[in-house]
Structure 1
Amino acid sequence: MLREGEDYYLEGGLWVFTESYHLKRGYCCGSGCRHCPYPKAVQTEAIRLRQAGTPIRSRAEFEARFGALLRTG
């Protein structure tokens, strides 16, 4: 269950997810989220995949694709 103030806050009627929420979810969805904690290179590729119609949909898929990059910083 999402908790306002911890996982998200409302701004102009929109939900804005926090860094804490993104880390709990465990992967970058490629939506260009304001508080995405993942490296820019990962965000850029996740956005490209989403625009191509093949978004990352799970933590396992994210780890398989970006795990080595995330471990090296």
Structure 2
Amino acid sequence: MSDELKPAAAAEPMEIEDGDIYFENGFMVFTEQYHLRRGYCCGSGCRHCPYREDESETGL
């Protein structure tokens, strides 16, 4: 199998702690506290991401 076809190494899962998530309309929502503990932006546009650019600057 070539290197291009191998799946990326999975990141180690973080343990969910009190205050890391809440549920809204059937969706699990990560809090800012969770994102800060994780330490980076995943690029998914999470509602409470402290790492994304100010929306007024990006035009979103």
The TM-score range, normalised by the shorter chain, is 0.5 to 0.7
Q: Which runs of 4+ in 1 moved over 6 A?
A: none
- TM-score normalised over the length of structure 1: 0.50
Q: Deviations over 1:10-62 (max 9, x none)?
A: 00110100000000000000000000001407xx7xxxxxxxxxxxxxxxxxx
SS where residue 35 of structure 2 aligns? helix
- Give the Cα–Cα distance (whole angstroms) in 2 for the partners of residues 39 and 33 of structure 1: 9
- Give the Cα–Cα distance (whole angstroms) in 1 for the partners of residues 36 and 16 of structure 2: 13
2:47 alignment partner AA: R
SS where residue 36 of structure 2 aligns? helix
Larger radius of gyration: 2
Match of 2:28 among 9, 12, 15: 15
SS where residue 40 of structure 1 aligns? coil
Unaligned runs of 5+ in 1: 45-73
- TM-score normalised over the length of structure 2: 0.60
Aligned position for 2:16 = 2
